[in-house]
Structure 1
């Protein structure tokens, strides 16, 4: 049987934090998914497209400053 990584109290605290910080939780999940995709599944074509999207996003963010 697998050992629990967290105590029950820690699990409750994590859930409470997640509920209070939904937007941050979604952001972190999306970032993690993107990084995982790039590291493990992206093809050369995918990486080229992502580079273009990143360049566009950087330009848009720089314009906002």
Structure 2
């Protein structure tokens, strides 16, 4: 069995300590990848509306 590199171990330790932020980063990466590589025009139109709604929600919370 191959040994894990020091960097892999360090990454796993960081991820364990920062689960919520690591999950946020994974979700953000997935969303960007979907938009860049798979989204149709219909998907993009829907996403624009969702972004607009989210933006309004966040502005009200300030």
On whether the aligned pair clears a TM of 0.5, the verdict is yes
Normalized against structure 2, the TM-score is what? 0.91
**Structure 2 residue 8 is matched with structure 1 residue 14:** no
Structure 1, unaligned runs of 5 or more = 1-6
Q: Quote the Cα distance in structure 2 between the aligned partners of 1:32 and 1:10.
A: 21
Question: What RMSD in Å do the two structures reach over aligned CA positions?
Answer: 1.0
- In the TM superposition, what is the alpha-carbon distance from 1:12 to its structure 2 partner? 0.8
Question: Following superposition, which runs of at least 4 residues in structure 1 exceed 2 angstroms of deviation?
Answer: none
Counterpart in 1 of 2:26? 29
Normalized against structure 1, the TM-score is what? 0.87
- Provide Cα deviations, 1:18-37, integer angstroms capped at 9, x if missing partner: 00000011000000000000
Partner SS, residue 23 of structure 1? helix
User: For this pair of structures, how many residues does the alignment match?
Assistant: 59
